[in-house]
Amino acid sequence: MTPDAILALYEWTIGGCFRCGQVDLFVTHVDEIVTPSGDRYELSSCGSCVLAMEEERRRYAERRGRAYEPGGLTQGEP
């Protein structure tokens, strides 16, 4: 699957990337952190970081003998 096809699987908005620290660029929601006091912080990632994380997911699936399905970052899959 091409990088553009993988990125098309996600919804994008302007924000900051938790992984590389860049701000004011297109990001997608990937997870959230909930503190013990109940505060919620959204974790969003830019396209470059999404592709890097998808590659990590693909290699992990390959090592485990599992099928890799791109687009799973927002679904809580390893």
pLDDT tens profile 2-36: 999 999 999 999 999 999 999 999 999 999 999 99
Q: Per-residue pLDDT for 78 more than 80?
A: no
Residue 47 located in a structural domain: yes
Residue 28 located in a structural domain: yes
Number of folded domains in the chain?
1
Residues 23 and 18: their CA atoms lie apart, in Å, by 9
Range of the domain at 33: 3-66
Joined tokens for residue 54:
């998808």
Residue 55 located in a structural domain: yes
Per-residue model confidence (pLDDT) at position 20: 97
Nearest by Cα to 1 from 69, 78, 52: 69
Residue 75 located in a structural domain: no
Amino acid at 70: P
Residue 9 located in a structural domain: yes
Residue 77 located in a structural domain: no
Residue 76 located in a structural domain: no
